[in-house]
Amino acid sequence: MQAYLNAPIKEVISKFPKVADILNGYEIGCVPCSVGTCLLKDVVAIHNIGEENKAQLMYEVEKAIYPDREVKRPVINKAAKAKPEILRYSPPLRMLVNEHLLIKRLLNCVPAIVKALKEDTVIDKEPVIGAVDFIRMYADKFHHAKEEDILFKYFDEKADIIQAMLNDHVEGRSHVKEVLNGLKDNKIDAVSQHLSAYAELLTGHIKKEDEILYPWMDKNLTVKQVGELFDKFNAVDNGLQRGVEETYKGRIEDLEAKFIQK
């Protein structure tokens, strides 16, 4: 088993496809992950599924790999298993989770913006321009920059989980670029397609950060590092980016008034 614990997850899955179903059962999305080089043991350790579930998951994986082996079934406290793990964050990571809330409000407007692009006889590009401005200035320059320039620097940036997050940021930027190209060339189908793809990508990305990456980071940061991060994030919010939060909250309220509350 030790050899498989230290093997990349994609390799384990291709050898033992049942492992993919087991991971899916615990909502561990290794199958669609763009990287897939995380080791099996890290995949289990990093996901915030609770110790009881981890023991059960490891039992199921070992049985899938060695069906004939006698594997000791863990004793599961059913009440503990049924109880969802409550996610708690340190103050700096809570700041990022709160920023995700505003980004999610934009993502929530995207289907209605796209519907209008498809159905309206006179195309109004303004909401798309507003959404792109939010994505570039708030989601990317304000929020992703805090992750990339500050938070990720406290960890091994070559680690698969961080590489997967960085890949998502890059893919998101390329969708935004295509939205802008579509607007310029009047290719409204391409605008709709890439805006929807961005929303789908970021929805999954935020879920991974909120539920997997940030809880794992919190477990590995020292108290001193948490304090440093909090100082650095506050310095961003009160320095060059002062007022960004308020400005873009207002933009989202405008979009919601137009697309969600009618």
Stretch of 153-161, 206-214, 225-233, 254-262 lying at the interface with Fe ion (CB under 5 A): 206-214
Q: Which amino acid is at 167?
A: N
Check binding of 42 to Fe ion (CB under 5 A): no
Judged by beta carbon, residue 12 or residue 139, the one nearer Fe ion is 139
Is residue 200 classed as helix, strand or coil in its secondary structure? helix
For the four alpha carbons of 240, 246, 252 and 257, in that order, the dihedral sign comes to negative
The CA distance from 64 to 22, in Å, is 9
The CA distance from 200 to 139, in Å, is 14
Cβ-contact 19, 65 below 8 angstroms: yes
Judged by beta carbon, residue 131 or residue 165, the one nearer Fe ion is 165
Q: Residue 91 has which token pair?
A: 């103050």
Judged by beta carbon, residue 21 or residue 200, the one nearer Fe ion is 200
Count of other CB atoms within 10 angstroms of residue 202: 23
Provide, rounded to whole angstroms, the least separation between the CB of residue 97 and Fe ion.
Answer: 8
Judged by beta carbon, residue 60 or residue 209, the one nearer Fe ion is 209
Judged by beta carbon, residue 29 or residue 50, the one nearer Fe ion is 29
At which residue do the structure tokens 């209008």 appear?
Answer: 116
121 to 150, contacts with Fe ion by CB under 5 A?
147
Provide, rounded to whole angstroms, the least separation between the CB of residue 167 and Fe ion.
Answer: 10
The CA distance from 28 to 44, in Å, is 9
Stretch of 123-131, 178-186, 201-209, 224-232 lying at the interface with Fe ion (CB under 5 A): 201-209
Provide, rounded to whole angstroms, the least separation between the CB of residue 39 and Fe ion.
Answer: 22
Q: Write the interaction track for Fe ion spanning residues 163-192; mark x where CB under 5 A is met and - where it is not.
A: --x---------------------------
Count of residues near Fe ion by CB under 5 A: 3
Provide, rounded to whole angstroms, the least separation between the CB of residue 71 and Fe ion.
Answer: 37
Is residue 8 classed as helix, strand or coil in its secondary structure? strand
Check binding of 209 to Fe ion (CB under 5 A): yes
- Closest by CA to 103, choosing from 242, 251, 213, is 251
Is residue 39 classed as helix, strand or coil in its secondary structure? strand
Judged by beta carbon, residue 22 or residue 165, the one nearer Fe ion is 165
**CB under 8 Å to 185, separation ≥6 — which residues?**
none
Check binding of 210 to Fe ion (CB under 5 A): no
Nearest residue to Fe ion on Cβ basis: 209
Interface positions with Fe ion (CB under 5 A) = 147, 165, 209
